[in-house]
């Protein structure tokens, strides 16, 4: 069995309940969704879901076929083996003392992240990038003490002129 992370881009009608139906399909198949991000697509009344799930090629293909049968699904693309641009966002609230504040700011600058809130005992950092970049920054900031962490799922688009999921295709 060839276990691999798969990135699926699903274009769906922007209607109440569609996220629940998609998540339920994965649950019924015994899949754990590593990340799911949903937002408005470039076309009115459509939303784009980016779903990252682990599994064997054939098993993920079966789930993809089941997704295609859902009424509100317009298009599905497995972009796992495509050239893609991926991003995640994280907000990290880090303990900061007067002594550690400058060191935290230097680390944040190296990662091209932003400080979006300053309090007497903490700094809140906003960082975007691929998952490895976020993991690296989070691991460095753990030494100072992370008070809170919120992280989005992966979003992805294929590179260049290739389109991962549009309704016209």
How far apart, in whole angstroms, are the C-alpha atoms of residue 76 and residue 10? 4
Give the count of alpha carbons within 13 A of 49, CB side only: 27
Domains (ranges, CATH) in the chain? 3-82 (3.30.70.260), 85-155 (3.30.70.1150)
Task: Show the tokens assigned to 28.
Answer: 């019924």
* pLDDT for residue 32 is more than 70: yes
Q: What percent of the chain has pLDDT over 70?
A: 95
Q: How far apart are CA 94 and CA 89, in angstroms?
A: 16
Q: How confident is the model at residue 162 (pLDDT cuts 50, 70, 90)?
A: low
Q: How many whole angstroms separate alpha carbon 158 and alpha carbon 145?
A: 36
31: pLDDT strictly greater than 90: no
Its pTM stands at 0.83
What are φ and ψ of residue 130, in 5° steps? -75, 165
pLDDT value of residue 163: 65
């Amino acid at each position: 069995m060839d276990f691999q992370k798969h990135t699926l881009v699903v274009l769906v009608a922007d209607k109440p309940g569609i996220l629940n139906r998609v998540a339920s399909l994965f649950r019924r198949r015994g899949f754990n969704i590593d990340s799911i991000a949903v937002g408005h697509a470039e076309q009115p009344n459509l939303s784009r879901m980016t779903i990252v799930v682990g599994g064997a090629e054939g098993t993920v293909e079966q789930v993809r076929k089941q997704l295609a049968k859902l009424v509100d699904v317009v298009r599905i693309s497995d972009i796992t083996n495509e050239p893609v641009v991926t991003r995640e966002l994280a907000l990290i609230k880090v303990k900061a003392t007067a002594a550690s504040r400058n060191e935290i700011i230097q680390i944040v600058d190296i990662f091209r992240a932003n400080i979006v809130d300053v309090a007497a005992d903490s700094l809140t950092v906003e960082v975007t990038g691929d998952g490895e970049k976020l993991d690296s920054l989070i691991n460095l900031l753990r030494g100072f003490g992370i008070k809170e962490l919120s992280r989005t799922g992966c979003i992805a688009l294929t590179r260049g002129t290739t389109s991962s999921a549009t309704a016209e295709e």
